[in-house]
Amino acid sequence: MESKMLYEGKAKKIFTTEKANEVMVYFKDDATAFNGEKKGTIASKGVLNNKIASFFFELLGEKGIPHHFIRRVSDREMLVKALTILPVEVVVRNIAAGSLAKRLGLAEGTKMAETIVEMYYKNDELGDPLINQYHIKAMKLATEEQVKTMEDYALAINAILSEYLKGKNLELIDFKLEFGVYEGKVILGDEISPDTCRFWDSVTKEKMDKDRFRRDLGKVEDAYKEVLYRLTGERA
Ligand code: UDP
């Protein structure tokens, strides 16, 4: 059976497979920032993010977090369960950076007294605006129960990843998650990678994520490679 492209996003393409409830994710090297205003490519990013995301899904699965990942099938391809994505981006923040630092006038690097969970409306035309559970209910983006599930998983994922990364000398500053519905249940989708997280070296505080691209800090590919190495021991 021919595989058809269902969707092309900024960093990934999605293809049909012979099974209706499974799709193939293809990771591209394209990078965008500031809601698509800044465009570029990061050499071998697709390969690195596919490996990094596969690693994180396996780790979270072992810890009981349900997710869409089935298996990595090639350097750039990952087989996943076909979800109905909830149009809500869930951001978890341990340390102030990026849009939070700007919006609230906090110095980047300020440790928050409590972990912050934020929801954004997944809508490129509107630039993914910040929303809360009232907007989500009123716009019927997700049910109250689904919001609670996303929040609970987001905090559990934060605890698992923060702890794991600490052992690899990486600080988990913040990250974005997307969830979808599969067989009636909310499960984790999308990807977890240096494109969707901020990682700082625990000692030097060096940025090891997409901020190197956003802010033209150089050595973008090297940072992604170093993250893969610290997580898996694999030298790309
Ligand atoms: N993030 C993401 N996709 C987005 C927006 C944010 O993956 O469309 C991630 C981003 O990499 C960071 C966290 O979510 O780890 C918080 O991002 P922030 O709101 O600070 O936004 P940005 O710096 O992208 O403006």
Give pLDDT tens digits for 38-47.
Answer: 999 999 999 9
Look-up: residue for tokens 């940025």?
A: 207
CA of 78 to the centre of ligand 1 (A): 23
Domain annotation covers residue 234: no
Report pTM: 0.98
Q: How many A from CA of 57 to the centre of ligand 1?
A: 19
Per-residue pLDDT, 2: 84
Domain boundary among 27, 59, 81: 81
Going by alpha carbons, the residue nearest to atom 5 of ligand 1 is 176
Q: What is the pLDDT of residues 43-70, one digit of tens each?
A: 999 999 999 999 999 999 999 999 999 9
Mean pLDDT across the chain, nearest whole number?
Answer: 98
At 192, which CATH number? 3.30.470.20
Q: Which residues pair with 174 in a beta bridge?
A: 93, 198
Cα→Cα distances 26→6, 180, 231, Å? 11, 18, 21
> How confident is the model over 68-117, as pLDDT tens digits?
999 999 999 999 999 999 999 999 999 999 999 999 999 999 999 999 99
Q: Please, what's the b/e burial string for 75-90 (b: 16 or more CB within 10 A of its CB; e: otherwise)?
A: ebbbbbbbbeebbbbb
Are residues 135 and 207 both part of a single domain?
yes
Neighbours of 223 (CB within 10 A): 23
Helix, strand, or coil (residue 8)? strand
Cβ distance 53 to 192 under 8 Å?
A: yes
Residue 173 Cα: closest atom of ligand 1: 15
Residue (of 222, 223, 220) closest to 31 by Cα position: 220
Atom 10 in ligand 1: which residue has the minimum CA distance? Answer: 196
Q: Please tell me the distance from the alpha carbon of residue 56 to that of residue 199, in angstroms, as a whole number.
A: 14
Distance 46 CA to ligand 1 centre (A): 18
**Mutation pick for ligand 1 pocket among 176, 177, 207, 227 (CB with most ligand atoms within 8 Å):** 176
Q: What is the pLDDT of residue 197?
A: 98
Last residue of a domain, one of 40, 60, 81: 81
Give the residue numbers spanning the domain of 98. Answer: 86-219
**Tally of domains in the chain:** 2
Residue-wise pLDDT for 3-44, tens only, equals 999 999 999 999 999 999 999 999 999 999 999 999 999 999
Q: Would you say residue 1 has pLDDT above 80?
A: no
